Chain A
């Protein structure tokens, strides 16, 4: 099922919550009104009882007793719904509102609990389908004879009022909920306008316009993190796209020269008949060119794999000092021939891919030996700082101009573009170092000052 739109969802939630709040409020209100009515009833009943008690208390002698029913009638005139019964303690009804017969259980209750009845018993009862709320009280007349007085108040009119009141409340609540939903819809539409604007902006973006960014200044605070995250993603995409197209351009450029060399050479070779030795020489020369291209292609593939995949088969402990010693053994003869000595200091262990790390160190050491003047020493320094292990390969020699330093680890970057000697490789050695170290979550760097060039990488310490 298609999820509800945000607007519909929020409007619905508004309506439901408003409805609930109103409903609960209505219930409290109804309860309060009801309680108020009850309080009023009790007050009225209590007042009448007091009046009756006084009348009886002042009645002494027969004449006074004979006047009592008239006095009671007078006292009750105008009190619609008020009913009274006065019974002798024996049970004979002495006086009663005409047409009303009280259930005998009311008096019985008084007989059962005489102590409480002397103070008045609150009761509620039905009589002939009419609900009454009232009180029973035992009183003593002026001549000392006991009576039981019951005063009841017809509550039907309250009940009908409450019913109407509740109906009005519920209808009002429902209408209010609907109104809230409609308002909610409008408010949500209005509130989500920035989101729609962002959507429109994002929708208008394409690979060609990756340099655009969402404006964060005009956005509501809640949307700023989203826009920032999106902008960061755009920046990464833009970077990748740019690097990809640069990379393609680089490859094309790097392959153009050897291929054009090979073509020219082959065409020249074929233009005149030659002897076998000469053909052989041409093939050898081509072979060297092919080898260089093959090396470049496999280096590029290696970088692509390193950049795209996680470590395979997973990190293992690598003793960098041991690797450095192994590399020194490998480069020993070559370095000695160039009059360069090799020195190692420090110890360090990291978790990583041994072959990859060895390759990274090998490229740096080879690079250092190549650029180290005879009679000097290439030093490999292993250091452990808090949380990181750093590997520095340094060689004395001519300094590299500062403008080149930030680009040295880029693919195909050459300090001197016109120089492409044999043995200089395809210009990918340092790019391989960077891709390996980045795959390990580390960083690479280079400094060149005071006659010493230092290439280094830092790895998180496992």
Chain B
């Protein structure tokens, strides 16, 4: 034992190592043991062994390798014991023989293991909500209770989602691997979609405890940073940029009592300059790669907004141009809706309303409250009060979100 380390100091180091390394150790143990639950158990027993042994023997030179080794040893031990009581664990016994020594091939594999874990948790054969829950639990290390709180659902619902996902990974044999080149574009999309879902849940949703919601957004940003560290990709950079640029406006988006403030009316001095600078630089980098996709283009639009000193001084022509690109890369009625808003800002409300009406006539946005409230805004600006009222009321009827309801009610009252 190193004499300068008191037991208390060693406990603190174990704590710090747990925070920094437990997900890495876990990711490697899944590869070695081939099973999520076995690996989780092994991580816990390995850290328990560390708490017990390190005060006596000192902290090893490479704590992570020690933990992986201890976890593997304990798991094999547990499997042997189980096999003795249960004849059907023959399968597991066969498995023991295939468990390789982690130290033989460890170092270069460790970062790959974290990437394997991300790709497996975001496998498109799993239901989207299960991908989200599994990623937050296994990659980010959130507890089931934390995930449930953030998604306003019960811990048992989240736990069941995770259990079913793990069962599918095991029974359908979803590989614990980095996808092949042929699969990569599709698989990368799935990872980015999970990240964006997590971010949006924290950013757009307003009910529930706003503090845990904010945590969800920072978790998505943290996850993307980790992913980029392991797997540099322009579109992932574009997504990180998009999230940073949205996040930069958080303080200006709502009043202290939680009312929505629209972009036009936001106090731009509240925007976070540091996040904007980082986001804008990432957008430029992603755009110059020429291998970008819809997230990068959305980030480019957000960058034009955040770099403008005011709504009037915004380069709306540039924004309409990026929406045109976006319509080519990833066309959707919602993109078209946003483009119509930009056209209204560039060419006046009449031109915008014309586009809105053509878009609504297609019927795809019938149940989308923002389409009706956008039309209402344009009518209001053109002095068409009756039409504005009808559209605001339609939007209100479709909205279940409390903040949005209050906002629309306020707008309706102002029409009087």
| A and B part of one assembly | no
A binding-site residues for B, Cβ under 8 Å: none
